[in-house]
């Protein structure tokens, strides 16, 4: 499974756009890129997923360049409640077509007033 | 509320006790997972069940014993645990499409386990 590298921490202010970049040089052809958000003492929450180019939903946008060796999660106009740990995951399906999520350290985003 | 519930939310047990964690999903999914999250460590995948069959056992010690009686319920039976097993245990579920898994998993709130 492809390993991911992302910054340990980031700071931002309310109302700003935040971009978190993740490197995944060994991404395989069948791999998808998925981002999760986790608040303290809670389970991670799915944010967005993509395979290539750009994906946008009501929460975030995901930009994936043509070589797919990196991806950028974009959070528009963050608020204090966006303070959390953000995980970038890359993977496909296992031997029985079941997704296997390998979590790294994640990026701790601190949003300040 | 993600549609995945876990009980108990907190558990304190001695090293000689036997206890079980319960997970239930109300999403109609066909795959369920156990994860362990220790302090300041990444989440670790422990077990994967797809269609009630265990398809992944990530080198987990035998003092952790999973059980999946049906696609909606998942248990983690615990016995003779060690203090280093203290962690947040998370359950998740997903819909295995059978073609390419979208890796969209829904997590429960977790059980905070303390082994004394």
3-state SS of A15-82? CCCEEEEEECCCCCCCCEEEEEEECCCCCCEEEEEECCEEEECCCCEEEECCCCCEEEEEECCCCHHH
pLDDT at residue B97 in the model: 64
Q: Do A103 and B107 touch (CB under 8 A)?
A: no
Of A44, A68, A26, A2, the closest CA to residue B94 belongs to A44
Rounded CA separation B35/B109 (Å): 12
Contact present, B54 and B76 (Cβ < 8 Å): no
Would you place residue A99 in the very low, low, confident or very high pLDDT band (cuts 50, 70, 90)? low
Question: Which of B71-94 are b and which e, b meaning 16 or more Cβ less than 10 Å from the residue's Cβ?
Answer: bbebbbebeebeeebbbbbbbbbb
Q: Is B10 exposed, middle or buried (0-12, 13-18, 19+ CB in 10 A)?
A: exposed
Q: Do A34 and B56 touch (CB under 8 A)?
A: no
For residue range B40-87, list pLDDT tens digits in order.
Answer: 788 888 998 887 777 777 789 999 999 999 999 999 999 999 999 999
* DSSP one-letter code for B85: G
Chain B residues whose beta carbon lies within 8 Å of the beta carbon of residue A45: 2, 107
For residue range A2-11, list pLDDT tens digits in order.
Answer: 688 999 999 9
Q: B56 touching A, CB under 8 A? A: yes
Contact present, A20 and A32 (Cβ < 8 Å): no
- 3-state SS, residue A105: coil
- pLDDT (average), residues A5-19: 96
Q: Do A43 and B109 touch (CB under 8 A)?
A: yes
For residue range A24-74, list pLDDT tens digits in order.
Answer: 998 888 888 999 999 988 899 999 999 999 999 999 999 999 999 999 999
Q: B102 touching A, CB under 8 A? A: yes
Residue A98 has pLDDT above 90, yes or no: no
């Amino acid at each position: 499974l492809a390993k991911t590298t992302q910054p340990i921490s980031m700071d931002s202010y309310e109302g700003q756009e935040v971009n978190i970049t993740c490197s995944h040089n060994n991404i395989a052809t069948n791999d998808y890129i998925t981002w999760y958000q986790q608040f303290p003492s809670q389970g991670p929450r799915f944010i967005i997923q993509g395979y290539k180019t750009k994906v946008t939903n009501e929460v975030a946008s995901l930009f994936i360049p043509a070589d797919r060796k990196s991806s950028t999660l974009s959070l528009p106009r963050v608020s204090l409640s966006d303070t959390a740990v953000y995980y970038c995951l890359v993977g496909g399906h296992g031997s029985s077509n079941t997704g296997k999520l390998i979590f790294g350290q994640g990026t701790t985003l601190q949003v300040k007033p | 509320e993600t549609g995945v519930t876990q009980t108990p939310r907190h558990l304190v047990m001695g090293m000689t006790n036997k206890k079980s964690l319960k997970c239930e999903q109300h999403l109609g999914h066909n795959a369920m997972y156990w994860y362990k999250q220790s302090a300041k460590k990444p989440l670790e995948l422990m077990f994967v069940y797809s269609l009630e069959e265990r398809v992944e056992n990530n080198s987990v010690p035998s003092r952790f014993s999973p059980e999946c009686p049906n696609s909606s319920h998942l248990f983690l039976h615990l016995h003779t645990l060690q203090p280093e097993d203290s962690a947040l245990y998370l359950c998740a579920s997903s819909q295995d499409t059978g073609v390419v898994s979208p890796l969209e998993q829904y997590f429960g709130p977790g059980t905070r386990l303390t082994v004394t």
